[in-house]
Amino acid sequence: MTQVHVQPLGQRRASLHGPTSWALLRHHVATWGRYALGVFCVALLCVDVATNNWEVIDFIGDAKHLLTPLLTIQRPDDMATHFIFPDDASPGRVSTVGQFMLNVSLAQIQARDSRTFILGMGFHRIDNHANDICGRLVQVYPIADPNATSVRLGSVVDSITFVGGNGLSHGFRDMAATANAAVGMNETQLRAR
């Protein structure tokens, strides 16, 4: 013989509207909420590890081609023996901050240890006014040997780049639609953009 438990319908209906049903609902929502938050965090961590691994990016050699012209240069003074610079755009004419940045960059290129990563920052069109890096090379260069078959041109720009926003703001808004900064803007004006 089999026993079957029977619950009256009236008691079940009453328990759906009682104070214990809200506690039970809150418990289930909290449990599933914690589970969903945990899954979201694990997924976010996996995406971050896979896409933001500097060791992998550095191993692939995303920007190693930028090192080639500077591999044999130890100090900024050595640059003048390898490249020809215009008088007003040479390593000797940069500010103190510019000299510091040149020294640090060359030291990190020469060290190439596990603390230095050379990463590419994407591709930029160079044939428009905003990114005209080729136009910067159009200057007067003091060439010692006019019969030379090849010449390595160099140009040092003494400026500081201000990157507005952060990773989240770049990810959630259209940076191409943001107006470019005007020449002469200070840090307060740049941060307000």
The model's pLDDT over 103-156, given as tens digits with 9 standing for 90+, comes to 998 998 888 777 777 777 667 677 777 777 777 788 898 988 889 898 888 888
Q: Does 114 map to a domain?
A: yes
Predicted local confidence at residue 139, as pLDDT: 87
Q: Is the pLDDT score of 182 beyond 70?
A: yes
Domain check: are 126 and 77 in the same one? yes
How many CA atoms, within 13 angstroms, populate the side-chain half-sphere of residue 124? 11
Domain check: are 33 and 64 in the same one? no
Domain check: are 34 and 94 in the same one? no
Domain check: are 41 and 83 in the same one? no
Helix axes 9-16, 19-51, angle to 10 degrees: 60
Domain check: are 151 and 105 in the same one? yes
Domain check: are 74 and 151 in the same one? yes
Q: Which domain holds residue 184?
A: 162-193
Q: Which of 133, 115, 136, 116 is nearest to 124 (CA)?
A: 133
How many CA atoms, within 13 angstroms, populate the side-chain half-sphere of residue 83? 20
| Residue 35 pLDDT level (bands cut at 50, 70, 90) | very high
Domain check: are 74 and 121 in the same one? yes
The helix/strand/coil state of 84 is strand
Predicted local confidence at residue 175, as pLDDT: 65
Gyration radius (Cα) of the chain, Å: 31
Q: Does 77 map to a domain?
A: yes
Q: Does 188 map to a domain?
A: yes
Q: Does 9 map to a domain?
A: no
What tokens appear for 23 in the block?
């506690």
Please count the structural domains in the chain. 3
Domain check: are 71 and 134 in the same one? yes
Domain check: are 105 and 139 in the same one? yes
Which segment of 9-23, 48-62, 76-90, 173-187 scores lowest on mean pLDDT? Answer: 9-23
Predicted local confidence at residue 124, as pLDDT: 67
Predicted local confidence at residue 14, as pLDDT: 46
Q: Who contacts 76 (Cβ-Cβ below 8 Å, separation ≥6)?
A: 91, 92, 99, 102, 103, 106
Q: Does 11 map to a domain?
A: no
Domain check: are 35 and 113 in the same one? no
25-61 core/surface letters (b: 16 or more CB in 10 A; e: else): eeeeeeeeeeeeeeeeeeeeeeeeeeeeeeeebbeee
What tokens appear for 176 in the block?
């191409």
Q: Does 169 map to a domain?
A: yes
More confident residue, 1 or 172: 172
Nearest 10 degrees: CA dihedral of 59, 61, 66, 69?
80
Domain check: are 85 and 110 in the same one? yes
Segment 92-99 shows an average pLDDT of 89
